[in-house]
Amino acid sequence: MVSSVGKVKKEPLLEVRDLSVTFKAERGGFIKRVEYVYAVKRVSFQIRKGTTMGLVGESGSGKSTIGKAILRLAPLGEGTIHYGGQELTGLADNEFMPFRKRIQTIFQDPYASMNPRLTIASIVAEPLIVHAQAMNRKQREEIVADLLEKVGLPADSMNRYPHQFSGGQRQRICIARALSSSPEFIICDECVSALDVSVQAQIVNLLQDIQDELGITYLFIAHDLAIVEHMCDEALVMELGEIVEQGPTDSLYRSPQHSYTHRLLSAVPRMPTIA
């Protein structure tokens, strides 16, 4: 399922080496002891351009934290992150800004990830405005209308507010927002987990269509193993902050090596098949 748009280069688009993320946790009542929680422990992986990498694990395994660490939404501990050959970890905030245009994200909760006071037009155009693209309002509106059409929403929805849309429609708006800065890499942080099965199917198809058309690379974080198998070329399995197994989804699912992967796969309820 490697996209035919854009050649698959030799060096990976994203390379993470020995990444660790720690959080400080204070324990105790009056006398506080500081404990360090290792959310992510020495994680290394590579993602090639145009492919989809799945990241599965239970709650608390650290999968969302990796996505956030790449975007600098979580404190970086040790390790390095290379994107397009450049190292991200040592950069100052203003030097990192151009990368925020190239790496976008779609969050899990379609209700919490949009500002309820802004119109859809403002929400989708926000990345355009932030990355200082020199365009006037009319040009921005055209781009927003294009994007909304691409995600399957009518162009006149740009004058409405988030509360007027359903969960699946809001997630489409978030996808349009992520696409507005023409990114190369999108982190999908459990973006279909909060949706109904029928809507999930539509959003998954939409994401695949976008990848086929624009050659975008995805890091698809999820806990639903069936969707990861459907969407992803390769997958990483995380347990308690560490990667326990990784590889192409076919071999990972058919012959899992690690006991934890086995456990995850056997816990998935068997879906009925129509006779």
Partner 1 sequence: MRLRRLTRYCGFSGSFLKSGTLVSFETVDVFTLGGGVNLPNVDHDPMLLDVQDLRVLFHSRDGVNEAVKGISFHLEEGKTLAIVGESGSGKSVTSMALTKLLPPEPQCCVSGKAYLDGESLLNLSASEMRAVRGKQIAYIFQEPSTSLNPYYTVGNQIAEAIKFHRKEVSDVWKEVVKLLDQVGIREPEKRAVDYPHQMSGGMKQRVMIAIALACQPRILVADEPTTALDVTIEAQIINLLKDLRARLNMSIILITHNFGIVDEFADDIAVMFRGKIVETGPVESVLSKPQHPYTQALINCIPKLGKNKKRLPVVDYAELEK
User: Which residues are near partner 1 by CB under 8 A?
Assistant: 58-60, 166-167, 196-202, 204-205, 208, 223-227, 229-230, 253, 263-265, 267-275
- Provide the minimum distance between the beta carbon of 176 and partner 1 in the complex, in angstroms, as a whole number: 19
Closest to partner 1 by CB, 186 or 225 = 225
Closest to partner 1 by CB, 2 or 201 = 201
Closest to partner 1 by CB, 149 or 250 = 250
- Provide the minimum distance between the beta carbon of 10 and partner 1 in the complex, in angstroms, as a whole number: 28
Closest to partner 1 by CB, 133 or 202 = 202
Closest to partner 1 by CB, 196 or 213 = 196
Closest to partner 1 by CB, 132 or 271 = 271
- Provide the minimum distance between the beta carbon of 170 and partner 1 in the complex, in angstroms, as a whole number: 12
- Provide the minimum distance between the beta carbon of 29 and partner 1 in the complex, in angstroms, as a whole number: 13
- Provide the minimum distance between the beta carbon of 163 and partner 1 in the complex, in angstroms, as a whole number: 13
Residues 6+ apart with CB under 8 A from 268: 225, 226
- Provide the minimum distance between the beta carbon of 59 and partner 1 in the complex, in angstroms, as a whole number: 5
